[in-house]
A and B are shown apart, each in its own frame.
Chain A
Amino acid sequence: MSSAPSKRGSGVTPVIEVNDVHKSFGQDEVLKGVSIMAYRGEVIALIGSSGSGKSTMLRCINLLETPTRGTLRLLDQEIVFPQHGAQRQPIDRKKLRRLRARLAMVFQNFNLWPHMTLEANIMEAPIQVLRKSRAEARDEAQAWLSRVGLYAHRHAYPDTLSGGQQQRGAIARALAMSPEVLLFDEPTSALDPELVGEVLEVIRNLADEGRTMIIVTHEMKFAAEVADRVIFLNQGVIEAEGYPEAVFGATTSDRLRQFMGSAYPLNGEQQ
């Protein structure tokens, strides 16, 4: 039901297939059966109010969170949850790590490592995980830093950089893994308003390159502009899904209308 065709998406099999995923923290069920398909080259925006489960959903895709039940198909690797059931085939940890590296994640709080220079931050995972040589990793790190406009700051430590610069650095760090999918977890939420633009610009360029991306965001205008498909999550279930124009113009969901109207008065009628 979630395989709506989209502008950029191509290929028959999805790169990521989330099937009826549930996730509970203790008694609290945050995801109540979510299914998402992402095709190669597609940009998906996950929107919803805080507590709707959108970040948890994204973190499940990178396996930072383990779904309580459901199925994930990540780049041809199928994982059925719960992992320790009677007839389940538990995925081995090495495979899991290799998988994670191909689904690079960008966090709300950047999470650059403060004890390393920007360049070292970006070289770290390619050296330690992909076993690249230092020289190769450095060349690539410098290329990625140029891409996000931070080449001049490559020897700077993260805490000397602005939030926008740190986030662009974090994007470069993710890109250095040559991931097949980029996952963004509210990449601009921790930024001062005047720094949001530079980060969105980088993400927009990546979208134009045809990268597969899932973006959890509060930037509705940006989502409408960049995303091929918008998924609106509410209280752990998908409330609306489709082309941005369709979702943002939707009148079918009261909750969506409420959400759009209250937090983000972007719709013309709201003015």
Chain B
Amino acid sequence: MPSFHLPPHRIVLLLIGLVIIGLMAINMRWDWIPAYRADILAGLRLTLVLLVTTSVAGFLLAVPLGLAQAAGPRPLAWLARGYCTLIRGTPLLLQLWLLYYGLGSLFPYLPGLRDSWLWPYLSEPWLYAFLALTLSFAGYEGEIMRGAFARVPKGELEAARSLGMHPLTTLRRIWLPRAVRRVLPTLNGELIIQLKATPLVATIAAVDMYAVFGRIRQETYIVYEPLLLMALLYLVLAGLITLAFHAVESRRSH
């Protein structure tokens, strides 16, 4: 049981904190919030959607990337390792721009593509945002999964093999769950890093939370207040991610 007794220095700190928040509420300008509420929520939604979809898709790619490096045939292992090195060794911003300005500018030259049903999607910035963030997450998690797969004791896999288990069953029932459980604490941090990488998509005109607050600042000429609110929102999201992971980890400590 955590104690709720507060020592004096904590009470002082708490009071100082409350005073600062009070001063901020009174002395700073927050009157712009109602006007931009819908925009902020829309931006928050895109940020969340990007975070969730890219980390899920990225992780799904990371599993084969890690497996190929840990146990794959040599050419495949090299290919996966090369991919992870490339992704981890170059700025995400660069990857994003290469996809958006590079790939995106090549598409119009493909015959017939402009008239196809795909075209509206191909000109959407969020598609490139999704691609770049997914590929990046896959690169980082692929490296982490490599280590996790490699660290599952060989004997546990041998036990499965010696009982006649199919290799894919062994992967699904033993190897993967053991590896994933090992990376859960790391994954928590990685998701928060991924969250904080999403503002980069504002540079290719995707309107995420960061882009919305940027626009607010330009339109209202208010310098600090939007930044503070944005910081608070990112902080809350990061906190929620950590809480979710703690819940998962304490539920199954094995």
Contacts and interface: CB of A to CB of B under 8 A. Distances in A.
Interface string A156-200: 010100000000001001100100000000000000000000000
B14 to A, nearest CB: 41
Given A98-B164, A115-B178, A128 B169 contact: yes
A64 B164 contact: no
Interface string A85-112: 0000000000001111111110101011
B155 A109 contact: yes
A217 interface: no
A173 B160 CA distance: 10
Nearest to B252: A115
Contacts of A114: 156, 178, 254
Interface residues of B, number: 19
A11 B63 CA distance: 50
Contact of A113 (B161, B169, B174): B174
A104 B156 contact: no
B27 interface: no
A102 B164 CA distance: 8
Interface in A118-135: 124-125, 128-129
A205 B162 CA distance: 23
B8 interface: no
Interface in B131-182: 153, 155-156, 158-166, 169, 173-174, 177-178, 181
A212 interface: no
B155 A100 contact: no
A216 to B, nearest CB: 14
A115 B165 contact: no
Given A113-B174, A115-B254, A100 B156 contact: no
B156 A129 contact: no
Given A124-B173, A128-B169, A157-B254, A64 B155 contact: no
Contacts of A174: 163
Interface residues of A, number: 29
A55 interface: no
Given A115-B178, A157-B254, A107 B163 contact: no
Contact of A111 (B155, B165, B169): B155
A99 B178 CA distance: 26
A129 B164 contact: yes
A25 to B, nearest CB: 15
Contact of B159 (A111, A128, A129): A111
Q: Most chain-B Cβ atoms within 10 A of its Cβ — which of A97, A128, A170, A177? A: A128
Interface of B: 153, 155-156, 158-166, 169, 173-174, 177-178, 181, 254
11 contacts: A64-B162, A97-B166, A99-B164, A107-B159, A115-B254, A125-B163, A128-B173, A129-B164, A159-B254, A173-B163, A177-B164
Given A111-B159, A116-B254, A128-B166, 6 more contacts: A62-B162, A97-B166, A107-B155, A115-B178, A125-B165, A129-B163
Interface of A: 62, 64, 97-105, 107, 109, 111-116, 124-125, 128-129, 157, 159, 170, 173-174, 177
